[in-house]
Each structure stands twice: as C-alpha cells, then as structure tokens.
C-alpha cells in the first residue's frame, strides 16, 4: 500500500495589498502547517475555523514550517506554536530576521542612500510601519532548515529547497512522491515576487544579488518534475513551466526597459525607479527601488551598464563599448 500526504489549502485573509495568503495543512503524522498567516484576530479565526472543519484542533499541530519571515506568511507561527507546543521549522537567515535585535528597515538605509533616494522620500518610506506586530518565535521550539533537508511524515516526505531572491532564506518544499511543490512566494500564479533589497546575512555590509539568486532558482525549479504547485498566494496550478517562463519574460522586459531609459542618460537607481514607477507611495517606493536595483546589478555584472559614485550616490549609464547589451545575449 502506498501512503501519500494529504494536503489541504486554507485561504487566510491578510491586511496587505497582496490579498489572502495560503496556509497548507499536511494531514499526516506529525500534523504540520506550511506557513501560518498574518498575526491578527481575523486571520487566526479563519485559520482555526478551517482547521476545526477539517477535524483538527490548533493544539494538535506539531510543526509549523515557515517559507519565509514576511509577516503575511509567518506572523501567526508563534501564536500557533505557543498554543500547541509545535516546533517552528525555518531557514536560519529567516530566523535572523525575526530576532528582536534586527532592524530590518534601518539596515537597508545605506542602500537607499547610495541609490540616491532624497531625504524627504526616505522619511516617507520609513514613516510607514507595518500595521501588525513583528513576527517572532520567542519562547517557541525552533528547528533550522537548510537546503536538501528532509521533513519526514508517516505518509511521506518533503524535501527542503533553499530558493532565495525574494527573501534570503526563502524555502520551498517538494514532495517527490506526488510531485507537489510548495512554492511560498517563489513561484506565484499571477505575479512575480519582488527581489527585495537585502543585506547579505553573512556579510551585512554587502547587498545580496537577489535577482541573480532568483533566476538561478528558476533553473533549479525547471529541472524538477512538478505535477502541482501550491503557492503562497492564489490558487494551485499545474503549469509550472508556464509560470517560470512568465517570470523570465517579466525580467527580460525589465532589463530592456531599464536599458532604454539609460539611453544617453546617467541616472541613479532612485531616478530610474521614479521613471518606471512614478506613482508609488510609502514602503512601495522601496519595493519599486528594489525591483530596479536588482536588474541594474545584473546589467552591471553582464557589462551592459556601468556606474560611478558621486557624493555617495551611484549613477548608472549604458556602456557604449559593452560586448553584450541585452539580457538575451546571456
Ligand atoms: Zn514574501
Ligand atoms: Zn507573500
């Protein structure tokens, strides 16, 4: 007899623009959740209500696996763990972000300054604080997950895939028996994840090459055999190669847009992001900047674009002598 993992998708509301988040219940021993939802009463009520309708009391949960520390995915983990005694499983670099001592916004400030963001705009970006409490795993049992770890169940196994780019320790899970891929925010049905500007967890003075990491991750996913993607947002889907293609096309078109904007001009990443996304406000300005900076980093690596520093700000220009000018040359 072959035993398979039973998976249930629970759609949990969030107060964020992205809309609801998906929590997955693996109904096999030990009872496990993948992601937990945001930390507010409405989300907790929906999650616990859906668990009850599936015959599960929240106290029965034994493990909560967190794909990444963004509050829509991880906020309720500590609440569930405290109620149930469940162990939280998470990549060490995401765990680091949940540490009280980490100031995720301030540690990114030097990058906003070298991107040329004016003081008034920095004040606007940093004036918007999250509506919900910072996710934490205080007083919870925690187990660190790293690439290629296996999470064992009575009815099967999940393989851990470290796929950064959206978040440094972003973790996806793969069931090799049923070919199910729990993608978190790595692969989504309608949107491509933001390559958020992040310091390198092992060398905080340096910025992570987020888009390079992400595109490398897409290659890894291309090599998997997947029959169903269970994403962090939106419905489950089968056409993972289609989603990988959409993500690649999105980034190719961003490279072209940026190269066009730099025709005959020298611009800071902030000036470029204002040209590409003129109507952003609050923290969204930082996300728009992240998208542009991530593409610029790769264009610099490919030799299509160069930059020079003036008064602490990096200004980018197209390199007229570049052998490679378009990403399709790669
Ligand atoms: Zn996220
Ligand atoms: Zn998300």
CATH code at position 58: 3.60.15.10
- Which residue range(s) make up the domain with 280? 261-329
Same domain, 186 and 322: no
CA of 71 to the centre of ligand 1 (A): 8
Residues with CB under 5 A from ligand 1 (ion): 70, 185
Ligand nearest to the CA of 231: 2
- Structural contact between residues 306 and 314, judged by C-beta atoms closer than 8 angstroms: no
Give the number of other CB atoms < 10 A from CB of residue 189. 16
The torsion angles phi and psi of 81, rounded to 5 degrees, stand at: -65, -40
- Residue 32 counted as domain residue: yes
Same domain, 165 and 222: yes
Cross-strand partners of 24: 9, 34
Q: Is the peptide bond before 30 cis (omega within 30 degrees of 0)?
A: yes
Supply the DSSP symbol for 34: E
The torsion angles phi and psi of 109, rounded to 5 degrees, stand at: -55, -45
pTM: 0.94
CA of 166 to the centre of ligand 1 (A): 7
Q: Strands of 228-231's sheet, edge to edge? A: 150-153, 156-162, 171-175, 180-184, 228-231
Cross-strand partners of 142: 88
- Residue 316 counted as domain residue: yes
CA of 34 to the centre of ligand 1 (A): 14
Per-residue pLDDT of the chain (330 residues; tens, 9 = 90+): 667 889 999 999 999 999 999 999 999 999 999 999 999 999 999 999 999 999 999 999 999 999 999 999 999 999 999 999 999 999 999 999 998 888 877 888 999 999 999 999 999 988 877 778 889 999 999 999 999 999 999 989 999 999 999 999 999 999 999 999 999 999 999 899 999 999 999 987 899 999 999 999 999 999 999 999 999 999 999 999 999 999 999 999 999 999 999 999 999 999 999 999 999 999 999 999 999 999 999 999 999 999 999 999 999 999 776 655 455 544
Position 330 scores a pLDDT of 43
Q: How far apart are the first and last CA of the chain?
A: 48
Ligand nearest to the CA of 18: 2
Same domain, 62 and 178: yes
Domain count, the chain: 2
């Amino acid at each position: 007899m072959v035993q398979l993992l039973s998976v249930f998708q629970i759609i949990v509301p969030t107060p964020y623009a992205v809309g609801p988040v998906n929590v997955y219940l693996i109904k096999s021993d030990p009872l496990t959740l993948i992601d937990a939802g945001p930390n507010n009463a409405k989300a907790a009520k929906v999650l616990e209500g859906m668990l009850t309708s599936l015959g599960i009391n929240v106290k029965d949960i034994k493990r909560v696996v967190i794909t990444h520390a963004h509050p829509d995915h991880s906020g309720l983990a500590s609440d569930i763990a405290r109620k149930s005694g469940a162990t939280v499983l998470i990549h060490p670099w995401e765990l680091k972000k949940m540490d009280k001592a980490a100031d995720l916004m301030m540690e990114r400030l030097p990058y906003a300054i070298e991107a040329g963001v004016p003081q008034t705009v920095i004040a606007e970006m940093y004036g918007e604080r999250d509506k919900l409490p910072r996710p934490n795993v205080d007083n919870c049992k925690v187990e660190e997950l790293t690439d290629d770890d296996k999470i064992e169940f009575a009815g099967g196994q999940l393989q851990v895939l470290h796929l950064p780019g959206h978040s440094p320790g972003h973790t996806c899970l793969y069931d090799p028996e049923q070919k199910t891929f729990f993608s978190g925010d790595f692969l989504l049905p309608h949107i491509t994840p933001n390559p958020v500007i992040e310091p390198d967890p092992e060398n905080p003075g340096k910025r992570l090459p987020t888009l390079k990491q992400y595109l490398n991750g897409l290659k890894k996913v291309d090599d998997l055999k997947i029959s169903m993607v269970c994403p962090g947002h939106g419905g489950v889907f089968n056409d993972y190669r289609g989603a990988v293609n959409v993500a690649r096309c999105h980034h190719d078109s961003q490279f072209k847009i940026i190269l066009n904007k730099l025709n005959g001009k020298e611009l800071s990443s902030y000036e470029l992001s204002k040209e590409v996304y003129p109507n952003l406000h609050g923290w969204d300005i930082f996300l728009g900047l992240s998208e542009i900076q991530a593409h610029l980093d790769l264009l610099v690596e490919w030799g299509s674009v160069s930059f020079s520093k003036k008064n602490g700000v990096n200004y980018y220009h197209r390199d007229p002598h570049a052998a490679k000018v378009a990403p399709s040359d790669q």
